[in-house]
Amino acid sequence: MRGLGIRAARIRRALRVLRAGSSAIAGLAAVGVFLGALAACSAGGTGARDEGPARADSAGSAEAAASASPSPSKSPKSVNAVRLVKADPKVSTDIKRDLKPCVANEYPVDVSYGNLTGGASNDVVVNVMTCGDAVGIGTYVYRDEGGKYQNVFQTEEPPVYAEIDRGDLVVTKQVYEKGDSVASPSGEEILTYRWSGGRFAQQSRTHNDYSHAVDGVSPAPADDG
């Protein structure tokens, strides 16, 4: 499931880039939906829960269903991620200087909320990107400590992007080889971190190589002569 989450992040970033300068985004969004459906199928899902024939409703079953319904979760407290990053003394001066609106007042920042460090409040994951090609240039994790957010993790080695996956911090770094375009890296490094002893400790590291054939780049045919 982590692989699907990372691929989804790549699709979201690609769509964000094309949305700023392409009128064909609607068609690409449809492709994204189609790819999502394929991913669901590959994961073994059918889109609906597999069940036997429907049984007659009864008062007992209705009461059991009502008692088993989970209570709605609280919405995470939103933060001003741009202000948080710019006020952070650990963030590099270059990133603060380049963090400007791409269009109107829309900044190239993705924000995720979730419990990574076991605190009473949700942690905040901030990804800062470039406007032109949506390349991740900085990833930061902020933890609420006494009502004030503290930087407990960061990486400023582009291209980088982080997500929350089942309580773990998953950081993806694209790998480029000579001749690769920004939209077509040769692979990726996936690093998984877990909060332990007051800091994030790396749990695993995975390397994936991409096929350029699916991007429309095929190797030249061999010379039979």
The larger pLDDT score, comparing residue 81 to residue 62, is at: 81
Mean of per-residue pLDDT scores for the chain: 75
Q: Which residues contact 111 (CB under 8 A, 6 or more apart)?
A: 78, 79, 81, 124, 125, 126, 127
Q: What percent of the chain has pLDDT over 90?
A: 45
Phi, psi of 157 (to 5 degrees): -110, 95
**pLDDT value, residue 163:** 97
Average pLDDT over residues 4-15: 48
**pLDDT value, residue 42:** 47
Q: Are the C-beta atoms of 12 and 172 separated by less than 8 Å?
A: no
**pLDDT value, residue 222:** 53
213 class by beta-carbon count within 10 Å (0-12 exposed, 13-18 middle, 19+ buried): exposed
Average pLDDT over residues 18-41: 44
Rounded CA Rg of the chain: 21
Q: Please determine, for residue 103, whether its predicted confidence score (pLDDT) is greater than 80.
A: yes
Q: Are the C-beta atoms of 76 and 140 separated by less than 8 Å?
A: no
Q: Please determine, for residue 17, whether its predicted confidence score (pLDDT) is greater than 50.
A: no
The larger pLDDT score, comparing residue 29 to residue 154, is at: 154
113, β-bridge pairs: 124
pLDDT band at 36 (very low <50, low <70, confident <90, very high): low
**pLDDT value, residue 77:** 73
The larger pLDDT score, comparing residue 200 to residue 2, is at: 200
pLDDT band at 50 (very low <50, low <70, confident <90, very high): very low
**pLDDT value, residue 10:** 52
Q: Please determine, for residue 192, whether its predicted confidence score (pLDDT) is greater than 70.
A: yes
**pLDDT value, residue 193:** 97
**pLDDT value, residue 94:** 95
Phi, psi of 163 (to 5 degrees): -140, 165
Cα-Cα-Cα-Cα torsion 21, 155, 101, 22, nearest 10 degrees, comes to 10
Q: Please determine, for residue 154, whether its predicted confidence score (pLDDT) is greater than 50.
A: yes
**pLDDT value, residue 174:** 87
Average pLDDT over residues 127-131: 96
